Amino acid sequence: MNKTKHVSETPATQVLRRHGIRFGEHPYDYIEHGGTAESARQLGIDEHHVVKTLVMEDEHAKPLIVLMHGDRTVSTKNLARQIGAKRVEPCKPEVASRHSGYLVGGTSPFGTKKSMPVYVEASILELASIYLNGGRRGYLVSLEPRVLSALLDAKPVHCASVD
């Protein structure tokens, strides 16, 4: 599906190419509020392997990125405890866009405008491959999860809860 559709470079794909990271490109038809369930359905993949890039902030309004399975939510209490924060909460969409440089729904952890600490749900690192946003709505890239640690210095955390 959508195999012939060419996707132009994004800041995320530029970072991946610059570091010699092999990745697959997976365009799909973006649907407002469709989330990871919609992209997984269109691409015929397990939603658990689709990774959301969430821009959050601590009690000092310092931004951070959390990478979470598409079929799970973040327990902000567990996350805050593990990273030594009093509180963690999602940023408002316009604030998230200002920090990342991406539109919400198209946020990639690679090539963000602002450098932010990255935390990854530990079980994501156990998967053979993952799909995450390539820096544009309707565009996922597939790659090995070890890239998250290698390029982003992503710190493993245990903060998943079932939707």
What structural domains and CATH numbers belong to the chain?
Answer: 11-162 (3.90.960.10)
0.75 exceeded by pTM: yes
Q: Which residues of 62-93 are buried (b: 16+ CB within 10 A; e: fewer)?
A: ebbbbbbbbbbebbbeebbebbebeebeebee
pLDDT at 6 over 80: no
Beta bridge partners of 55: 65
Q: What is the mean pLDDT of residues 7-23?
A: 94
The position carrying tokens 């015929």 is: 44
In whole angstroms, give the CA distance from residue 83 to residue 44: 35
pLDDT at 3 over 60: no
Give the model's pLDDT for residue 163.
55
Which helix or strand (DSSP H or E) is residue 35 part of? helix 35-43
